[in-house]
Chains A and B, each alone.
Chain A
């Protein structure tokens, strides 16, 4: 399978704990995006990488959130001191070069904070 993969698919954590999600984009894709989707809503943009550089962060990304893409391949999204409001689906997408309009999405990581 050469699509975008995300791990874990589901995460249940207690409020105050830290969580980390991983995204592996399609191998030749240089752009990577993180979105958050709450139930019944469309996704909201969180952050964007071009290769290893984080070029944009949404104001939704509070200081408890951090994302990295150290070698321009996989990316991690960490949430520190989780809150119940962080419960959502976290989606990763990737795209490439001249076909930047086609963002390919992974299956998402569903986070539940209890």
Chain B
């Protein structure tokens, strides 16, 4: 079974609109971390946001917020006021307890912002 599922292979969004990128995960660990990374066409992975499984509040970093719904095992990324520079691949990843910090990745969502 897939540990990280991103069901949206691609999305088109109008500039300045908010966008939600879906991510569901599967783990039996009690302690885990969830991550979102952005990969522009240049190829470099850029860390966006992190949510720990025990964090009570949803993580926020500027225009990025993580909608963490633990019971549903969902960790959606919300980008507010999208910009043309947000066009990229977005990956959801998980680190499980006692995993030596390795990340397990989803297949990604290609986001294209339309002017």
Contacts and interface: CB of A to CB of B under 8 A. Distances in A.
B33 A93 contact: no
Nearest to A108: B43
B105 A102 contact: no
B43 to A, nearest CB: 5
A55 B102 CA distance: 11
* B interface, over-half SS: strand
B108 A42 contact: yes
Interface string B31-53: 00101010000111111001010
Which size bracket describes the interface of B in this complex?
20 to 34
Interface string A8-41: 0000000000000000000000010101000011
Contacts of A106: 44
A35 B95 CA distance: 14
The SS class assigned to the A binding surface is strand
Contact of A107 (B35, B44, B102, B106): B44
Q: How large is the interface on A (under 10, 10 to 19, 20 to 34, 35 or more residues)?
A: 20 to 34
B79 interface: no
Nearest to A44: B105
B99 to A, nearest CB: 8
B101 A48 contact: yes
Interface of B: 4, 33, 35, 37, 42-47, 50, 52, 91, 93, 95, 100-108
